[in-house]
């Protein structure tokens, strides 16, 4: 999900390679959402959808912060920050979180 130019070659950093904890927490939230969907717990699914959307935003900020403060040296971090670009997978992840967020609405009965 991140592309890094190291000398000549482009190297891909996936979410798992960047920080395994972010990867595992993301898949744990997704697994709980699938479970809530199949057992028809819509309140829990709605809550986890909100949590997933917030988590994607926090995760993108954390990956950006880690990539721009990797070495702790301002010069090296500026060079690395310019070489790293978010790939299209982050957009797909954000769109998926937005779709999940708006997928469950509260149904109100018309009387």
Q: What is the DSSP string of 77-95?
A: HHHHHHH-EE-HHHHHHHH
- 3-class state of residue 40 by DSSP: coil
Give tens-digit pLDDT for 87-107. Answer: 777 788 889 899 988 887 776
Query: What pLDDT does residue 66 have?
Result: 73
Q: Which region, left, alpha or beta, applies to residue 107 given φ > 0 means left and ψ of -120 to 50 means alpha?
A: beta
* Ranges of residues in the chain whose predicted pLDDT is under 70: 1-19, 67, 69-72, 76-77, 80-86, 107, 109
Q: How far is the C-alpha of 110 from the C-alpha of 76, rounded, in Å?
A: 61
């Amino acid at each position: 999900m991140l592309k890094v130019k190291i000398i000549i070659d482009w190297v891909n950093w996936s979410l798992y390679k960047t920080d395994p904890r972010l990867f595992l927490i993301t898949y744990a939230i997704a697994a709980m959402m699938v479970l809530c969907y199949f057992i028809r717990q819509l309140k829990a699914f709605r809550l986890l959808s909100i949590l997933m959307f917030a988590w994607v935003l926090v995760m993108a900020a954390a990956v950006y912060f880690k990539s721009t403060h990797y070495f702790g040296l301002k010069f090296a971090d500026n060079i690395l920050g310019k070489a790293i670009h978010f790939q299209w997978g982050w957009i797909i992840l954000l769109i998926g979180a937005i779709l999940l967020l708006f997928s469950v609405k509260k149904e109100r009965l018309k009387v």
